[in-house]
Amino acid sequence: MKLTRRNFLAWAGLSAVGAVACDVFEDELRVQSPVSLPEDLVKGKENWYATLCRTCPSSEGVVVRVVEGRAKKIQGNPNYPTNMGAQSARCDLGLQQLYHPDRLTGPVRLNGPKGSGRFDKITWDRALEALKKELQDRDGAVAMITPPLRGHAALISDNFVKAFGGKRIEFDSLDLNTYKQAIENVFGKKIQPYYDISNAKYVLSFGSDFLSTWISPTQWEVAYGQFRDSKHSDRGTLTHVDSRFSVTASNADRWIPIKPGQEGKLALSIAYVLIEEKLTPSKVDIDDLTDGKGLSALASYHPDNLAAELGIPEHITGSNSVSELIRTVAREFASQGPAIAIGGGSAGASTNGLFNLEAIYLLNHLVGSVGIKGGVILNPDSPIKELSAGSSSHTITDVENLIKDIKSSKIKMLIINGTNPVYGLPNWTGLKEALENEDVYLVSFDYLMNETNNLSNLILPDRNFMEEWGDDIPEPASGYQVIGIQQPIVNPLSDLDPRSSSDVMLSVAQDLGKDSDLPWKTLQEAMKSMSDQLFDLNRGSVPGSTKQEFWNNLLKQGGWWDEGATESSSVDVSNIVSNIVAKDKGAAVQSTGEFYLVPFEHNSLLDGRNGDIPWAQATPDPVTSIAWQTWVEINEKKANDMGIQEGDVLKVQSENFEIKGIAFLSPAQPPEVISIPLGQGRTIGSSYATNRLDGESANVLDMLENHKVNETGSLAWAATKVNVINTNTSLRIAKFEGDFESREIGFTEGEKLIKTTSPNGNNH
Amino acid sequence: MVVKVDHKWGMVVDLDKCTGCQACVVACQAENNLPINTKDLFMQKRAFEWIRIERYWEGDFPDVRARYLPVMCQHCGNAPCEPVCPVYATYHNDQGLNVQVYNRCVGTRYCINNCTYQVRFFNFWEPQWPERLQNQLNPDVTVRTRGITEKCSFCVQRIRRAEVTVERRERTKLNDKIMAARNYMPACVQACPTNALMFGDQNNEQDEIHEYFEEIRGDDHGDSRGYRLLEEIGTDPSVIYLKKVEQFQMEHD
């Protein structure tokens, strides 16, 4: 080509373009369209959007700071009735979930034998085609496993799987079925009640670690802050009964250690004292409660008779004997009202868990605390007819039945929606083997790889909660009707192609003509129609003269609530005492071993659901300050006697199973108990969850024996006894505290770091 | 007219309310772009926590207590870290804040040595985030590089935003209620579910913390519920701790 002036300029122009294209990173050219989120792209300008947090089951109301289309910070929504602007250590984890480096980028299909981990990327069109084909081929033999869901997510999942002749199982490692059953039996309603701790003066709790992980901890912590009262002239007292030294035990004014499974007997013994010493208020009809039997209904729970059985040490908070302690607590509970008794966690997880919890909640009736300020406040039904205020709950027995159906080919297609049951169930349930069967078609909605979806035929990447619509009826609500709203506040990043699982189900149902109970095209449409229903109620917290204005304000507030919509039903308590006493039979813990094993939910990983998130792994446990590892909490003196030092790798053996963990010597652990947190021991997942040395990460669920709670069929996870063997190897322990013994060393008042005072202001 | 206010920021920690839940710790890490505390950092005892929860044992089973103590930079009025910095990377500003200027810091670590409360952290390595996680980083807070000392700033970026928005643009005097309502509180204070952490202006009579600072200034005998960490050393911290209330005394007392 001849070089003319025109040619030269053309070439020069082209090479300049080339230079620019080479200099600029590809990522920087992928600017999100300002058309879709114009206000978010104003440089340096922040917006706060209200939504719901989904990193723990309590789904707190949050506001999220968005700058230039990216979520930057999650904080409590100050208006939201449950958490009232506060947050837990788990709220901010949502950011790392949203921007997790290992998020699935698009749908994948198995290309090889199940469990081989060989997946091919496919387009959404092909993925949905495959899903539809399998649903049609296996119609009538479909089932779904989800975590406990509420609101429209539950409704859509239920109706979807029903349309294909199947049923949805709500899976939760430590399910709340026993607790809910006890609530229904004692308060007459299955919807979880609200415990008005903020206005209470005395809280007597049994086994429930309500300041760390139990049900709705942020809600309880907000109330606990008010219960403690800065001016401390009117400070409430917390007595906590627990078989291990939990976060709640460490904050209690008095911790009463007890043998696992004896909580119900202690509660009835307190009830005995309340009746014997006539401490119950006059409005409480003891004859009605005991069917006219009075004290004789509880004759076998005289404190003197039980003292040896309960496993409570002598001299707790200055008492001379266990029976004196029981009497002291009963007197405090009756005289320092309003008083609440709450129970859950390990107290409901021995084989007699239902008896324990019913006996505990009975105490509220005896001091007239039900339905009063500072007591147990029942929650009302949902304002929206089709959305239930009390989530259904299934137990491990239901999952076992499902596994049987899979093995007998009654179920040929399983949809797993956002949960990891292969990890979260003890191995003896056999779910993994059932899913490894090539005849079972497994579809997973998820955002990361895990033990369950690794066995899938098809994985559909789900949206993060900050990219998706949703709603929630918090359980428990704050004593009145509440509906929380979740809205997409950012778009998925350009290299990710997730779709809302609810939207996928709706569109598939419509395409296959199975949408008779799913009248919406998208989840957003379902929520809009709910908003219209709320508008028509013409009450509640959301202003708006038109439906559109109401919808906008609903999103802005992050939910709808009506403080006037409370529950007014009364509870029929006749003969309740005999019904509870009749349940007290059989041993609480059936296996043999030197130690009681009391597992517990990890403060940030919970039951393992947050295991892939770096902040969750790196947040020290409040009591031990350990991160990233599985530890075995053992009494310091007992360990010294056994020749165990901190960092030793211990083999913990139940009758049939064993796991390994690192010894943590605790001066507070009861000598006959060891406790191990849930949450570690992942085998497939992101590098944050896996990638551990032998002995520093284990799944405590794998060593639980097959014991169920009587009458409810829940897993009795605190009913296994174990032996502990030192493997004589040791590992460095990843804990935040120093290596020296962390006890106060100050000799003078000025050197003391933590100073104390008595309630009347006298310094100690 | 621009409102000119003399702030002196301070914090009050109610030990009777702190449950050790770690909400403040995670909130701080998210707000201030702290490096991810890998297992290795824990093993090396170099985990970054601008606010941390210390746990102390007292007694033995069954008469045992675990005490929680949240510790962050105490923003000392007489800070031992300040005079030893050869390059003035750390200095005291006119609002009572102990400020760390990252681009002045040359990494001598003298300040870390001299800090009474061990709240300063040194970046021995370049902090790493996987590419996608970088989307979460707060654009208001500098990401520190290798060789730099860092520490709690009382979320100075939020305080500055509050001053610019409320005091300069809206010409209203700041107080703790406005700061709480509009997300200007330090991340730890905002997150704390039990309200164990309180923040405000020591000079502003309307602020909740004011009375605690007034009380402690007039208290020579240790009678008030407020005290300051290792105050005998004379660092004059801007953080007051309220004594833990013991309903039942321990037997060994």
Residue with the larger pLDDT of the pair A6 and A74: A74
Q: Which residue has the tokens 């901010």?
A: A92
Cβ within 8 Å, pair A668-B253: no
Query: In the predicted model, is pLDDT for residue B11 greater than 60?
Result: yes
Mean of the per-residue pLDDT values of chain A: 91
Beta bridge partners of A206: A241, A343
The CATH code of the domain that includes A613 is 2.40.40.20
In this complex, is the C-beta atom of A748 within 8 Å of any C-beta atom belonging to chain B?
yes
Cβ within 8 Å, pair A742-B55: yes
What gap in Å lies between CA A607 and CA B128, rounded to an integer? 28
Decide: residue A320, CB within 10 A, 0-12 exposed, 13-18 middle, 19+ buried: exposed
Q: Is residue A365 located within the same domain as residue A391?
A: no
Cβ within 8 Å, pair A250-B191: no
Q: How many pairs of residues across A and B have Cβ atoms under 8 Å apart?
A: 280
Query: In the predicted model, is pLDDT for residue A87 greater than 90?
Result: yes
Cβ within 8 Å, pair B36-A742: no
Convert the pLDDT of each residue in A151-187 to its tens digit: 999 999 999 999 999 999 999 999 999 999 999 999 9
Distance from the first to the final alpha carbon of chain A: 96
Convert the pLDDT of each residue in A687-736 to its tens digit: 999 999 999 999 999 999 999 999 999 999 999 999 999 999 999 999 99
Residue of A103, A97, A32 whose CA lies nearest to A62: A97
Q: Which of B14, B42, B246 sits opposite A627 (nearest CB)?
A: B42
| Best mutation target, A87, A233, A731, to test chain B (most B CBs within 10 A) | A87
What gap in Å lies between CA B92 and CA B98, rounded to an integer? 5
What gap in Å lies between CA A273 and CA A301, rounded to an integer? 9
Q: Which of B43, B131, B191 sits opposite A87 (nearest CB)?
A: B191
* Domain's final residue, options A355, A377, A399: A377
Q: What is the pLDDT of residue A19?
A: 37
Query: In the predicted model, is pLDDT for residue A745 greater than 90?
Result: no
| Best mutation target, A222, A336, A755, A760, to test chain B (most B CBs within 10 A) | A755
Cβ within 8 Å, pair A618-B38: yes
The answer to whether the beta carbons of residues A488 and A469 sit under 8 Å apart is yes
Q: Is residue A166 located within the same domain as residue A245?
A: no
In chain B, residues with a C-beta closer than 8 Å to the C-beta of A253 are 246-248
Q: Does B3 reside within a domain? A: no
Q: Does A735 reside within a domain? A: no
In chain B, residues with a C-beta closer than 8 Å to the C-beta of A98 are 136
Q: Is residue A199 located within the same domain as residue A131?
A: no
Query: In the predicted model, is pLDDT for residue B235 greater than 50?
Result: yes
Residue of B79, B215, B212, B86 whose CA lies nearest to B152: B79
Q: Which residue of B has its CA nearest to A647?
A: B43
Q: What is the pLDDT of residue A46?
A: 85
Residue B115: which domain range?
Answer: 9-242
Convert the pLDDT of each residue in A379-426 to its tens digit: 999 999 889 887 778 999 999 999 999 999 999 999 999 999 999 999
CA of residue A422 relative to chain centroid, distance = 18
Question: What is the rounded average pLDDT of the residues B83-100?
Answer: 94
Residue of A56, A91, A155 whose CA lies nearest to A530: A155
DSSP state of B165: I
In this complex, is the C-beta atom of B190 within 8 Å of any C-beta atom belonging to chain A?
yes
Cβ within 8 Å, pair A622-B53: yes
- The token duo for A23 is 């200099």
What gap in Å lies between CA A754 and CA A742, rounded to an integer? 12
Q: Does B247 reside within a domain? A: no
Beta bridge partners of A652: A659, A724
At residue B66 the predicted structure's pLDDT band, cuts being 50, 70 and 90, is very high
Strands across the sheet containing A70-76: A46-52, A61-67, A70-76
Q: Does B178 reside within a domain? A: yes
What gap in Å lies between CA A442 and CA A422, rounded to an integer? 13
What gap in Å lies between CA A233 and CA A761, rounded to an integer? 9
Q: Which residue of B has its CA nearest to A318?
A: B251
In chain A, residues with a C-beta closer than 8 Å to the C-beta of B231 are 750
The answer to whether the beta carbons of residues B48 and B216 sit under 8 Å apart is no
Cβ within 8 Å, pair B17-A738: no
Residue of A362, A361, A344, A365 whose CA lies nearest to A353: A344
Q: Does A137 reside within a domain? A: yes
Question: What is the rounded average pLDDT of the residues A346-362?
Answer: 96
Question: What is the rounded average pLDDT of the residues B89-100?
Answer: 93
What gap in Å lies between CA A452 and CA A144, rounded to an integer? 13
Q: Does A162 reside within a domain? A: yes
Cβ within 8 Å, pair A70-B194: no
Cβ within 8 Å, pair B61-A76: no
Decide: residue A143, CB within 10 A, 0-12 exposed, 13-18 middle, 19+ buried: buried
Decide: residue A318, CB within 10 A, 0-12 exposed, 13-18 middle, 19+ buried: middle
Question: What is the rounded average pLDDT of the residues B40-69?
Answer: 94
Please report the residues numbered 476 through 495 in chain A whose beta carbons come closer than 8 angstroms to any beta carbon of chain B.
493
What gap in Å lies between CA A198 and CA A218, rounded to an integer? 13
In chain A, residues with a C-beta closer than 8 Å to the C-beta of B59 are 667
Cβ within 8 Å, pair A629-B187: no
In this complex, is the C-beta atom of A237 within 8 Å of any C-beta atom belonging to chain B?
yes
Q: Is residue A277 located within the same domain as residue A395?
A: no
Coil, helix or strand for A626? strand
Q: Which of A629, A670, A736 sits opposite B52 (nearest CB)?
A: A736
Q: Is residue A525 located within the same domain as residue A622?
A: no
Q: What is the pLDDT of residue B249?
A: 85
Convert the pLDDT of each residue in A208-249 to its tens digit: 999 999 999 999 999 999 999 756 567 999 999 999 999 999
Q: What is the pLDDT of residue A439?
A: 95
Q: What is the pLDDT of residue A624?
A: 96
Question: What is the rounded average pLDDT of the residues B172-199?
Answer: 95
Cβ within 8 Å, pair A250-B183: no
Q: Does B200 reside within a domain? A: yes
Q: What is the pLDDT of residue A233?
A: 65
Q: How many domains does chain A have?
A: 3
Q: Which residue has the tokens 């903020």?
A: A198
User: How would you classify the pairing of strands B63-71 and B52-60?
Assistant: antiparallel
Convert the pLDDT of each residue in A274-331 to its tens digit: 999 999 999 999 999 998 999 999 999 999 999 889 999 998 988 999 999 999 999 9
Q: Does A22 reside within a domain? A: no
CA of residue A85 relative to chain centroid, distance = 19
Query: In the predicted model, is pLDDT for residue A33 greater than 80?
Result: no
Q: What is the pLDDT of residue A28?
A: 40
- The token duo for A491 is 């778009």
To the nearest whole Å, the CA of A676 is away from the closest chain B CA by 18
Q: How many CB atoms lie within 10 A of CB A67?
A: 19
Question: What is the rounded average pLDDT of the residues A259-263?
Answer: 95
What gap in Å lies between CA A330 and CA A327, rounded to an integer? 5
In chain B, residues with a C-beta closer than 8 Å to the C-beta of A30 are none
Which residues, in sequence order, are CB contacts of A438 under 8 Å at separation 6+? A113, A114
* Domain's final residue, options A352, A377, A402: A377
To the nearest whole Å, the CA of B62 is away from the closest chain A CA by 7
Residue A626: which domain range?
Answer: 595-730
Please report the residues numbered 35 through 94 in chain B whose beta carbons come closer than 8 angstroms to any beta carbon of chain A.
36-39, 42-43, 45, 47, 49, 52-69
Distance from the first to the final alpha carbon of chain B: 59
- Regarding an ipTM greater than 0.90, the answer is yes
The CATH code of the domain that includes A494 is 3.40.50.740
Q: Does A84 reside within a domain? A: no
The answer to whether the beta carbons of residues A311 and A266 sit under 8 Å apart is no
What gap in Å lies between CA A207 and CA A266, rounded to an integer? 12
The answer to whether the beta carbons of residues A658 and A632 sit under 8 Å apart is no
Q: Is residue A344 located within the same domain as residue A248?
A: yes
Q: Is residue A373 located within the same domain as residue A389?
A: no
Q: Is residue A232 located within the same domain as residue A370?
A: yes
Cβ within 8 Å, pair A85-B135: no
Q: Is residue A553 located within the same domain as residue A410?
A: yes
Cβ within 8 Å, pair B20-A763: no
Q: Does A57 reside within a domain? A: no
Q: Which residue of A has its CA nearest to B185?
A: A75
Convert the pLDDT of each residue in B130-143 to its tens digit: 999 999 999 999 99
To the nearest whole Å, the CA of B137 is away from the closest chain A CA by 6
Convert the pLDDT of each residue in A5-31 to its tens digit: 555 444 444 444 333 334 434 444 344
Q: Is residue A337 located within the same domain as residue A445?
A: no
In this complex, is the C-beta atom of A87 within 8 Å of any C-beta atom belonging to chain B?
yes
The answer to whether the beta carbons of residues A580 and A355 sit under 8 Å apart is yes
Cβ within 8 Å, pair B54-A742: yes
Q: Does A249 reside within a domain? A: yes
The CATH code of the domain that includes B101 is 3.30.70.20
The answer to whether the beta carbons of residues A608 and A451 sit under 8 Å apart is no
Q: What is the pLDDT of residue A26?
A: 40
Q: Is residue A268 located within the same domain as residue A202?
A: yes
Which residues, in sequence order, are CB contacts of A525 under 8 Å at separation 6+? none
Query: In the predicted model, is pLDDT for residue A742 greater than 60?
Result: yes
Q: pTM of the predicted model, to two decimals?
A: 0.93
Question: What is the rounded average pLDDT of the residues A197-213?
Answer: 96
In this complex, is the C-beta atom of A95 within 8 Å of any C-beta atom belonging to chain B?
yes
Q: Does B248 reside within a domain? A: no
Beta bridge partners of A409: none
Please report the residues numbered 109 through 168 in chain A whose beta carbons come closer than 8 angstroms to any beta carbon of chain B.
none
Q: What is the pLDDT of residue A192?
A: 94
| Best mutation target, A757, A758, A762, A763, to test chain B (most B CBs within 10 A) | A757
Cβ within 8 Å, pair B47-A732: no
In chain A, residues with a C-beta closer than 8 Å to the C-beta of B236 are none
- Helix or strand run (H / E) with residue A596: strand A595-597
Q: Which of A48, A78, A604 sits opposite B22 (nearest CB)?
A: A604
What percent of chain A is modeled with pLDDT above 70? Answer: 93
Q: How many domains does chain B have?
A: 1
Please report the residues numbered 147 through 186 in chain B whose beta carbons come closer than 8 angstroms to any beta carbon of chain A.
180-181, 183
Question: What is the rounded average pLDDT of the residues A131-144?
Answer: 96
DSSP state of B166: I
Q: Is residue A333 located within the same domain as residue A396?
A: no
